[in-house]
């Protein structure tokens, strides 16, 4: 089943889907596995597995620290793909690679797509790669049945938005605001206008991320987008309140999707 069909099938049972985030190797691979088990128990629909990188330019301070510490912990490319392989075999939710373009460039587009396909990822998110620089990454994605998830922002001009969304696949990642992840976003009519502009251009499911943190945020998105994305807020819960606090936070987010 392709990613778009998976999303639409899940939406037959929920008001909105939940996508969460794990930085592979932080705090540790064992902790990552516990997080994924809790996500499965809570009914999370999609998970971004972030490949650690030295300069995660779209991420805020918490994820920057997590990326740097994961690399200090010794996580390398092979460790990342091995973890992905185990996770896709063990859990029901769809898994996306999230990361930055430099490691993809080093691997080569063909090898990157082949490795994702081999380890049963459904696609990837590369927020620092402009759509005009994808080149044959689109071709190899089609060859290996992967969805390149493109990121659009409310600051995009109408022309730029059409250019980005024309290449969309799976779903479209709508950033709720400009800037980096991790800062609380106040949801208001500005996001509604942005979402409406995206709807006019593409019929793909829409996901909203960047700064969502609470069940109330997700409830505000019912009937507006198909997917709510929560990342930094959950990792903050793990750091502040441990696994029990993380599980409580996750359960509340999942309940708000029903």
Q: pLDDT for 101-110, tens place per residue?
A: 999 999 999 9
The pLDDT tens digits for 82-140 are: 999 999 999 999 999 999 999 999 999 999 999 999 999 999 999 999 999 999 999 99
Give the mean model confidence (pLDDT) for residues 36-60.
Answer: 92
Strands (E) located in the chain: 17-23, 46-50, 94-98, 123-125, 147-149, 151-152, 172-175, 206-209, 227-229
pLDDT for position 180 = 44
| Main-chain phi, psi angles of 133, to 5 degrees | -100, 0
Q: Which of 45, 48, 115, 226 is catalytic?
A: 48
Q: Which of 45, 55, 59, 217 is catalytic?
A: 59
Longest dimension (CA), the chain: 46
What Cα–Cα distance (Å) separates residue 174 from each residue in 12, 113, 145, 150, 196?
22, 23, 22, 9, 11
- For the chain, what is the mean pLDDT? 92
pTM of the model: 0.93
User: Residue 203 catalytic?
Assistant: no
Q: Radius of gyration of the chain from Cα atoms?
A: 17
> What does the domain layout of the chain look like in residue ranges?
3-255
How far apart are the C-alpha atoms of 183 and 210, rounded to whole Å?
7
Bridge-partner residues for 9, per DSSP? none
Predicted confidence (pLDDT) at residue 186 exceeds the cutoff of 70: no
CATH class as words, domain 3-255: alpha beta
User: Residue 79 catalytic?
Assistant: no
């Amino acid at each position: 089943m392709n990613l778009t069909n998976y999303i639409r099938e899940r939406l037959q049972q929920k008001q909105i889907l939940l996508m969460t985030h794990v930085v592979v190797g932080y705090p540790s691979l064992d902790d990552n596995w516990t997080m994924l088990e809790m996500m499965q128990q809570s009914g999370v629909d999609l998970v971004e597995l972030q490949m650690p990188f030295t300069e995660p330019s779209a991420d805020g301070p918490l994820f920057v620290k997590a990326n740097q510490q994961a690399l200090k912990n010794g996580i390398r490319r092979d460790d990342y793909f091995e973890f992905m392989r185990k996770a896709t075999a063990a859990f029901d939710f769809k898994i996306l690679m999230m990361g930055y373009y430099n490691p993809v460039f080093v691997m080569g587009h063909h090898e990157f797509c082949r490795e994702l396909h081999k380890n049963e990822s459904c696609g990837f998110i590369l927020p620092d790669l402009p759509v005009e620089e994808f080149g044959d990454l689109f071709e190899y994605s089609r060859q290996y049945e992967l969805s390149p998830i493109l990121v659009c922002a409310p600051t995009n001009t109408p022309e730029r938005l059409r250019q980005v969304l024309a290449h969309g696949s799976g779903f479209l990642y709508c950033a709720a605001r400009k800037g980096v992840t991790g800062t609380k976003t106040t949801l208001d009519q500005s996001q509604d206008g942005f979402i409406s502009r995206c709807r006019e251009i593409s019929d793909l499911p829409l996901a909203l991320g960047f700064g969502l943190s609470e069940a109330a945020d997700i409830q505000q998105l019912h009937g507006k987008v198909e997917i709510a994305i929560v990342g930094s807020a959950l990792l903050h819960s793990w750091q502040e309140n441990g696994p029990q606090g993380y599980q409580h936070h996750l359960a509340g987010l999942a309940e708000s999707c029903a």
